[in-house]
Amino acid sequence: MPNFRPDDFHGIHAILYALFDEQEKLDRAAMRRQVEICLATGVHGMAALGLATEVAKLTEAERRTIMDWTAEDIAGKVPLAFTIFGSSVAEQVAQVRHAESVGADWVILQPPPVGSYGAPECIRFFGRVAEATDLPVAIQNAPAFFGRGLTADEIRDLVTLHPNIRLVKGEGPVTDIAGLIERTEGRIPVFNGRGGLELIDNFRIGCRGMILAPDCIDLAVRAYEAFRAGNEAVAEAEYAKILPAAVFVMQGIENLICYGKRLFGARAGVPIHDRAPAMRPNEVGLAMVERFASHLGKLPG
């Protein structure tokens, strides 16, 4: 397998949905199919165990299982990242160890899902986990979703203290991400998400790439490749196709999991089942999913 370095991380990376069967168990065949489809779109990287993967609903054993399956199915074709979830340093380090064992190329640390602590405590927490691995480490900074986060200056201090924290995974409007890139003087590659909202402007301000759920991943890849080739008109046209669906699904994380996952399923021909507790779709939302899926067409692969 190739050894990818942080300089290789760019473009559109797919963050996998957790796909369940009718008994609410992880569906091995559906998860493999999801990876195959993402690879067929030409994604520049893959990730799993983020918010779109419903990581908080998974047991620790299930998180390890998803790492095993994803690494097996990707087989080193593109850089692979795992988001690290856990309420203590020890739990997160154990997850990092498993990510290392299956050949992850980088890890993305989430803030611990307990309590409400100031920046110094978060910085110490992230630093202790980062020091436990030689893998490149990213920090997921998503205050809108987690209810807490670090400022651009605090992120700058964190990466200065811990040199292997080499990337940032943001979840914010392009105006905020631009400030982060400016305050870190462009030294730290930044990825954004938010379902691809403001996609082309994220590239314009210097985002290294985007980490997106796979419902519209094919068009995002085409938009990025057009932008990179200097054809902004084509990039904007591809983004325009995505935008209505992105606005629809990105009304919050639960909305993304409910309707974004169903949009992926409709385009991929993959049945979608929820794991309780879950936001349940209604007739209006399902009709919108059907309309967007018809407009966007089938996913490749």
Q: What is the 3-state secondary structure (H, E, C) of the chain?
A: CCCCCHHHCCEEEEECCCCECCCCCECHHHHHHHHHHHHHHCCCEEEECCHHHCHHHCCHHHHHHHHHHHHHHHCCCCCEEEEECCCCHHHHHHHHHHHHHCCCCEEEECCCCCCCCCHHHHHHHHHHHHCCCCCCEEEEECHHHHCCCCCHHHHHHHHHHCCCEEEEEECCCHHHHHHHHHHCCCCCCEEECHHHCCHHHHHHCCCCEEEECHHHHHHHHHHHHHHHCCCHHHHHHHHHHHHHHHHHHCCCHHHHHHHHHHHHHHHHCCCCCCCCCCCCCCHHHHHHHHHHHHHHCCCCC
How far the first Cα of the chain sits from its last, in Å, is 23
Residue 211 assigned as binding residue: yes
Residues comprising the binding site? 211
Residues comprising the binding site for pyruvate? 211
